[in-house]
Amino acid sequence: MNTISDVAGLAALSICESILLSLTDLDIIEQGEAVCILEDAAAAHRGAIAEAKNPEAHEAAAVVIDRIIKGKNSVPRDNG
């Protein structure tokens, strides 16, 4: 991860994950709604693959989102 764009993307991912975790922790949205938001994001990337100039990037983004859905967050959660 060497480019400013890569670093910005990683930062954005971490921020979005943290927001979703906070929203669920504060009972603003339910866990299921957070999962739906992530599923929609993954579907949007998969839907963009056919028309994309860089389809591999969209597939990779969808894979990362699927990993988050499965509980393998990039932002560690302190439940203490």
Q: How far is CA 40 from CA 10, 12, 68, 79, in A?
A: 19, 17, 13, 27
What distance in Å separates the CA atoms of residue 46 and residue 71, rounded to the nearest whole number? 20
What's the whole-number average pLDDT of the chain?
87
Which tens digits make up the pLDDT trace of 41-80? 999 999 999 999 999 999 999 999 999 999 866 544 555 4
Return the number of other C-beta atoms located less than 10 Å from residue 58's C-beta.
20
Q: Which amino acid is at 34?
A: A
- Alpha helices, DSSP H only, in the chain? 4-25, 31-48, 55-69
pLDDT at residue 7 in the model:
87
pLDDT at residue 78 in the model:
52
